[in-house]
Structure 1
Amino acid sequence: MRRLATLIALMITLSLMSALPAGAADPLLSQGKPVTASSTESIVFPASAAVDGDAGTRWSSAFADPQWIQVDLGATASISQVELSWEAAYATAFQVQVSADGGAWTTLHSTTTAAGGAQTLTVSGSGRYVRVHGTARATQWGYSLWEFKVYGTTGSTGPDPGERLLSYNKPGVASTSQHDVNCWECTPARAFDLDPASRWATSSTTGWVDPGWIYVDLGATAQISKVVLQWDPAYARSFQIQVSNDASAWTTVYTTTTGTGFKQTLNVTGTGRYVRMYGTQRAGAYGYSLWEFQVYGTGGNPTDPPAPPKDPANPPALVWSDEFNSPSGSKPDAAKWRADPGTGPNNELEYYTNHDNASMDGQGHLVMEARKQATPGSACPTDPLTGSTTCQYTSARMNTGTKFHFTYGRVEARIKVPKGNGLWPAFWMMGADFLTGRPWPYNGEIDIMEVLGKDVKTSYSTVHAPAYNGGGGVGSPYTLPSGADFSDDFHVWAANWDSKGIVYTLDGRTVFTISKDQVEQTRGPWIFDHPFYIILNLAVGGDWPGPPNAATPFPSRMLVDYVRVYQ
């Protein structure tokens, strides 16, 4: 038995060694760790893509010198090797540097004759932060890395195991707070509730002045190691993080005059029961506002926050579906779908019926039909063609609200869209708290597929949140290979959604990636880590697609072959 155990241990060791790259005796420290960069070419190429372990995603910088990308290993490490996998936009001159605090850097490797491609660099040094600092580009483009891997050893590859969130649901006090139609109940408590869609703001009548401040009572003396601030656009250019034992005499543990707004993760060292953000210079005409103010460390009297949702299994398993295989003329399954009757938003022209416009075709498809069919007495906008305030069209909208809600997973549908001016088919999701009173966009919206009937060669995938919505949503258009027409055939749209973000695919091909980390650092809070429900609809008219015209075919049909969710 002892010989068998020894053999098993040897096999495990050899297996682990085989997983390391040639010449690397130390473990990979950088994968999935927090990463920042001097710039990004666009949200499609976030800094996080360089440390995600996916050789098909990349970080790409702005087209200028110098640029940098750095990873926070979470603890001081002895660095032995760095691997760089460059895209065609590589650096001819760059340095690999380490730092204990992300401020003062020591160079471990320097070159002015790099040739790009895959580079394995043997280095020696220690630090918590590792940076690639590019000083000369090889092309007219920026710097672009498929992978940035750091190997080494550390006593801990993450935060101090005793470190925890201390500020959750703790009492807050602020210089002023806002409570009006523009910011409802924007009280200090909102900054400490772990709800990224609620915020604290200084008063619009008395608080848009300097200084402005907010502090949290941790309930007992604590050793503070980290503060995370998620700013609203009303952020502090100059501010201090301060600690106190009595909320009277304050000690500054961090100060800056070049605050950047958005998400800031500050490594600090201090002791106290109270922690304060003390703003001394506003970045704009408004006051100070924080979606989140999180304090981490040891001690205090912390309240455990709810456990975060679990990421899907790999590979995920089918947990819900509708194949639409019922007999011809049958209505959507009432156990899975509910009709959403009434007029649509966005100045749409249709009236959504109570499943009158949705039925099975007997060939395995759901048919959602838009008809030119007047509906008197409805609260419709004025039809630009007729001047009538009676809805001139009917259509179908249905959702899984109250039937099926889920957090994370792969959600996909096989759909054939219609063609014609004014038609607007969509496959999307809404945050389930919309059903209990939270208004849009604070509940969150995930659009998986939107196609405009006037341009059926382009599809759109987008997310909407309080800080980015409507025309400012985070999204991207994309097309089929060779510029094919979406209305000619069925296509599979999918969103692969987890704690790191959303990867959108079309017919299995990745068309757009949204990184949670990148959105928080460049656009605002990420509000998509909670239950959502599915919506299918075929709109007629509206602000975006415009109205139908004489050539728009009616009836028009959106066909859905299936909807599936995997977790």
Structure 2
Amino acid sequence: MRPSFRPARLKAATLLAVAMSFVIALVVSPSADAADFLLSQGKPVTASSAENIAFPATSAVDGDPGTRWSSAFSDPQWIQVDLGQTATVSQVQLSWESAYAIAFQLQTSADGNNWSSIYSTTTSTGGNQTLKVTGSGRYVRLLGTQRATQWGYSLWEFKVFGTTSGGPGPGPGSKLLSYNKPGFASTQQSDGNCFECTPARAFDLDPASRWATATDVGWVDPGWIYVDLGATAQIDKVILQWDPASAKSYQLQVSNDANNWTAIYTSTTGPGFKETLNITGSGRYVRMYGTQRNTPYGYSLWEFQVYGTGGAPTTPPTPPADPANPPQLIWSDEFNTTAGTKPDANKWRADPGTGQNGELQVYTDNNNIQTDGQGNLVLEARREVTPGAGCPIDPVSGSGTCQYTSARINTGTKFSTTYGKIEARIKVPKGNGFWPAFWMMGSDFLTGRPWPYNGEIDIMEILGRETTKGYSTLHAPAYNGAGGYGGSYGLPGGADFANDFHTWTMLWNSTGITYQVDGTTVFTVDKAQLEATRGPWIYDHPFYLILNLAVGGDFPGPPNSATPFPSRMLVDYVRVYR
């Protein structure tokens, strides 16, 4: 769903810095050579398969020896890590679970498609392996061709060591130096597409705000942005989270006076999206100097983060903690009240008014929402005339008077959460024009931050005209509306969601989101992969819950003469674990 209303656009200066990115510092392994730096930890990783949701590929590069990747039970299988830039690889450490590879290769690639072998064995005995290798590439892959057991391939850790073209990587004491420091740029954009996109937005640790070059003089080369670190610093890493308006050719430069600049990194093949660059340089000022754009548009950065030692750093906010393992129940509503009872006012608030997105209904807090005395909350859509401004033309009657009523409630100022297991058991209605949803909005929407800058998490959406398919989607400034980041799915055997209750679950933490239906994973979002392919992750702050049953709209289309009224969306329970 999209929000039912939007406040006037705020000045960017008032946008809340509520979402934070947390970067795991690269460390030297005690068993690696002195010149070898761990390059793979926390980097985007993909695999040919995963045994199930408990064993994703990300677990092999998360630095946690208690989590692991495990593949499907067949040959061949692979896991590969994107180091972010070309590296000279000198060592790979493998920590196998009992399901190990007898035969495998270590391979490198410049593009993730064409591979060169840098190590090969057909007599591996598993366990902990430290392999000296010589190779170069942005991508490093383990390709397993023969399993030691009837199970798949399973790694507790997959560590790649070496150096990058920009330098060895962060050293001891490295920290974020650029947070809330003054920014300066060649130009800045301020219009309906990017209101007050000033340089400061790239240094605020808010991945939903950005800097962009101006349009009033045309998008031209060169374009630049720099940060004043407050004092001379030793630079060892820079993270650039690009908008699609990114640089193909650019330099990272340092200076002690903001006039005389020295290049410490040069690229003519900038990939855009997220770049993590291990570099070496010294200066008070750090500049991105773009000379060739990847698009017809200008240059734009959601985040420009500088790491190292020295400077005059401002301590950034502490990232929110991940849920307990196992998570604990912190909030619920079972709806076990007598028939006709309104939702608990200590937990929910009615959200009356007309919808957006071309919806036809008026949401009321009348008899459209109440419990049924059988343990369910009922959201009921009715065909009934409701006078009011802003009603769209009903395609059936041709009237501009609102022809339908329904219900929407949210936890708004009552309850919100950052991360957790969020779950509801729901039975959806069937019929053209119905649009039931269970979703979440970033809580700063209530204090004035406009959609989609606050973030939206759709846990469940169903279209009444096609109730064999469900949708789960994320919305952010860089991907929203029809371009949201999500997936669709069905039930086993093509069963109809409207025939029975089903349980929708979202597992949400600092590394990603997993969507499940009736305990089966239907869609996963890996934070690193999202940042590397679509845009910033903006889900590290509080969100509140919403239940609603819309009638009509851009997504489901309108009701027709066969649409059954009244129709009900039934909610057995809503539970949140943290």
Which of 337, 341, 353 is the matching residue for 1:342? 353
- Matched with 1:291 is 302
Aligned to 2:42: 34
For residue 109 of structure 1, the aligned residue among 94, 98, 119 is 119
Equivalent position to 1:533, from 524, 538, 544: 544
* Match of residue 9 from structure 1: none
**Structure 1 residues 70, 377: closer, same or farther in 2, change over 3 A?**
closer
Partner of 1:273: 284
CA shift, 1:454, in A, is 1.1
Q: Determine the structure 2 residue equivalent to 1:547.
A: 558
What is the CA–CA distance in structure 1 between the aligned matches of 2:154 and 2:38, rounded to whole Å?
14
Matched, 1:397 2:404: no
- CA separation in 1, counterparts of 2:292 and 2:489? 42
Residue 131 of structure 2 corresponds to 124
Match of 1:150 in 2: 158
Is the contact made by 1:108 and 1:124 (CA closer than 8 Å) also made in structure 2? no
The one-letter code matched in structure 2 to 1:125 is: K
Q: 1:93 to 1:408 in 2, by over 3 A?
A: closer
Aligned residue number for residue 408 of structure 1: 419
Alignment correspondent of 2:532? 521
Match in the other structure for 1:427: 438
User: In 2, distance between residues paired with 1:182 and 1:443?
Assistant: 16
Q: 71, 81, 90: which one pairs with 1:69? A: 81
Q: Unpaired segments of 5 or more residues in structure 1?
A: 1-24, 139-143
Aligned residue among 500, 507, 510 for 1:496: 507
Rounded to whole Å, the distance in 2 between the matches of 1:559 and 1:486 is: 12
CA 529–452 in structure 1, closer or farther in 2 if over 3 Å, else same: same
Q: Which residue of the other structure, out of 211, 214, 233, is the alignment partner of 2:225? A: 214
Kindly state the Cα deviation for residue 380 of structure 1 after the two structures are TM-superposed: 1.4
Take 2:40 and 2:376, find their aligned partners in 1: how far apart are those partners? 41
Structure 1 match to 2:12: none
Query: Residues of 2 paired with 1:336 and 1:550: CA distance?
Result: 37
User: Residues 502 and 107 (structure 1 numbering): CA distance in 2 closer, same or farther, change over 3 Å?
Assistant: same
Question: How far did residue 150 of structure 1 move?
Answer: 3.1
Cα offset, 1:405, TM superposition? 1.3
Q: CA deviation at 1:33?
A: 2.2
Name the structure 2 match of 1:162: 173
Structure 2 stretches of 5 or more lacking a match? 1-29, 147-151, 163-168
- Aligned mates of 2:490, 2:395 — CA distance in 1: 30
Output the amino acid matched with 1:197.
Answer: A
Contact 1:478 1:511 in 2 (8 A): yes
- 1:478-535: per-residue Cα shift (whole Å, max 9, x none)? 1111111111111110111100010111111111110111000000011111110000
Deviations 1:538-565 (A, max 9, x none): 0011111111112211110001011111
Quote the residue 1:440 is aligned against. 451
Cα distance, 1:227 vs. partner?
0.3
- For 2:435 and 2:102, the matched residues in 1 are separated by 45
Judge conservation of contact 2:417–2:544 (CA < 8 Å) in 1.
Answer: yes
In the TM superposition, residue 237 of structure 1 has moved relative to its aligned partner by: 0.3
Q: What is the aligned partner in structure 2 of residue 177 from structure 1?
A: 188
Q: Distance in 2 between matches of 1:450 and 1:91?
A: 45
Post-superposition offset of 1:390: 1.0
CA drift of 1:92 comes to: 8.9
CA deviation after TM superposition for structure 1 residue 444, in Å: 0.6
CA distance, structure 2, for counterparts of residue 132 and residue 84 of structure 1: 20
Cα contact 1:400–1:534 (8 A) shared by 2: yes
Matches of 1:278 and 1:264, distance apart in 2: 15
Are the counterparts in 1 of residues 433 and 560 from structure 2 also a CA contact under 8 Å? yes
**Whole-Å Cα distance in 1 between the matches of residues 109 and 549 of structure 2?**
54
8 A contact 2:234–2:309 mirrored in 1: yes
Instruction: Give the direction of change, closer, same or farther, for the CA distance of 1:227–1:153 in structure 2 (3 Å limit).
Output: closer
Residues 422 and 552 in structure 1, CA contact (< 8 A), matched pair in contact too: yes
Matches within 5 A, 1:370-385: 370-385=381-396
Asked if the contact 1:30–1:71 (Cα under 8 Å) also holds between the matched residues in 2, the reply is no
What's the secondary structure of 1:293's corresponding residue?
strand
Shift of 1:387: 1.3
Amino acid paired to 1:35: K
Partner Cα distance (2:543, 2:171) in 1: 34
8 Å Cα contact 2:48/2:71 also seen in 1: no
Normalising by the residue count of structure 2, what TM-score does the alignment of the two structures yield? 0.81
Q: In structure 1, how many angstroms separate the alpha carbons of the residues matched to 2:39 and 2:330?
A: 29
Q: Cα deviation per residue 1:48-106 (whole Å; 9 max; x = unaligned)?
A: 36546354678xxxx9xx9953569x99996554649999xx9998435699xx9xx99
Q: SS where residue 528 of structure 2 aligns? A: helix
Structure 1 residue 119, shift from structure 2 partner: 6.5
Equivalent position amino acid for 2:528 in 1: D
Query: Is 1:452 aligned to residue 467 of structure 2?
Result: no
Contact 1:26 1:152 in 2 (8 A): no
1:48 is aligned to 2:58: yes
Question: Does 2:198 correspond to 1:190?
Answer: no
Q: Which amino acid aligns with 2:360?
A: L
**1:215-272, Cα deviation, whole Å (9 max, x unpaired):** 0000000000000000001100000000000001111110000000000000010000
Conservation of the 8 A alpha-carbon contact between 2:506 and 2:513: yes
Summarize the Cα distance change of 1:149–1:31 in structure 2 as closer, same or farther, 3 Å threshold: farther
AA paired with 2:81?
I
Partners of 1:494 and 1:505 within 8 A in 2: yes
C-alpha distance in 2, partners of 1:198/1:490? 40
Using the size of structure 1 for normalisation, the TM-score is 0.82
In structure 2, C-alpha distance between the alignment counterparts of 1:86 and 1:236, rounded to whole Å: 43
Q: Hey, what's the Cα distance between the residues in 1 that align with 2:170 and 2:137?
A: 13
The answer to whether the 8 Å contact 2:455/2:475 transfers is: yes
CA distance in 2, matches of 1:31, 1:293: 20
CA distance in 1, matches of 2:192, 2:275: 28
Q: 1:41 to 1:468 in 2, by over 3 A?
A: farther
What secondary structure, in the 3-state scheme, does the structure 1 residue paired with 2:236 have? Answer: strand
Letter in 2 for 1:33: Q
Letter in 2 for 1:432: S
Cα distance in 1 for residues equivalent to 2:46 and 2:377 = 48
RMSD: 3.9
Q: Residue deviations 1:268-295, cap 9 Å, x none?
A: 1000000000000011111100000000
- The aligned residue for residue 315 of structure 2 is 304
SS, match of residue 378 in structure 1: coil
CA distance 1:193–1:145, change in 2 (3 Å): farther
2:472 to 461, 476, 479: 461
1:511 matched to 2:518: no
Aligned to 1:35, the other structure's residue is in SS state coil
